Amino acid sequence: MLRQLLPLALAPAVLFAAETIDGTWKADLSKIDLPAKVTIIDLEKGMYSCPNCVPVVNIKADGTDQKVKDADTFDTLSVKVVDAHTIELTYKKDGKIMDFSRDTVSADGTHFTEHFTQHPPDSAKPVVGDMISKRAEKGPAGSHAISGGWRAEKVEGITDNGITLTYKSTPGGLSMTDLTGDSYSAKFDGKDYAMKGDPGTDTVSVARADANTYVETLKKNGKIVTVNRIIVAPDGKTASVTTEDKRQGTIMKFAIVKK
């Protein structure tokens, strides 16, 4: 569940001025500040819960699909206990697998790795990678090793299709396509435009704060999901991105580089 702190996987999280944006950009995973939020997980007595996840999860950990309310990108979740240190989670939407992760706690219990496979709706290839989290709180006595509080520490090995985007300037605006099938065409006028391919959002609006700063607002069913603030370097080769997840109440920062 910790990866809900991230966009899918990190895109589409960036917009730029037409005079600097044209081309293909890739996220630099070595320059990323993940959200400071501590996510609480509890797995004991046959139940899996995450009380501060968005949406809140409280389901049976019996390997069967369980209904989850108020989620934008999935409607069922199954939790399978593999062993004392490993669980598997499968997220589905209308019966189709959207996301799978194998979560393994280290032998000393200080870290756990989510090896994930995401299946974007309009992509022939999945996005694969790892998120490593550090323990912030111990779990209840006798609970599964995954129980406790966890803070995301780093992401590794995300396949290029999850962190690469291509932009092209248009009259008064910008179009975007990525390798997972997401796309849009928006003008720099603050109005909402259609976002295609991303199950977590359905519109995007763009505003220019100053010569080098751009603000992107992503919505789902009229509600703001994410606000991204992008500052382009003077040479146009790199940019810093600050992503505010309104649902999670978290902030993430990372860099991208023009290929």
Domains of the chain (ranges, CATH numbers): 9-33+161-258 (2.40.128.20), 38-158 (no CATH)
Q: Is the pLDDT of residue 113 over 80?
A: yes
Q: Is the pLDDT of residue 211 over 80?
A: no
Q: What are the CB-based long-range contacts (under 8 Å, 24+) for 136-145?
A: 136/38, 137/38, 137/40, 139/41, 139/42, 139/43, 139/44, 140/42, 140/44, 142/44, 143/42, 143/43, 143/44, 144/43, 144/44, 144/81, 144/84, 144/87, 145/84, 145/85, 145/105, 145/109, 145/112
Task: Please name the helix (run of DSSP H) or strand (run of DSSP E) that holds residue 90, with its range, or none.
Answer: strand 86-93
- Between CA 244 and CA 259 the distance in angstroms is 25
Q: How confident is the model at residue 20 (pLDDT cuts 50, 70, 90)?
A: confident
Q: How confident is the model at residue 19 (pLDDT cuts 50, 70, 90)?
A: low
Higher pLDDT, 15 or 43: 43
What's the mean per-residue pLDDT of the chain? 91
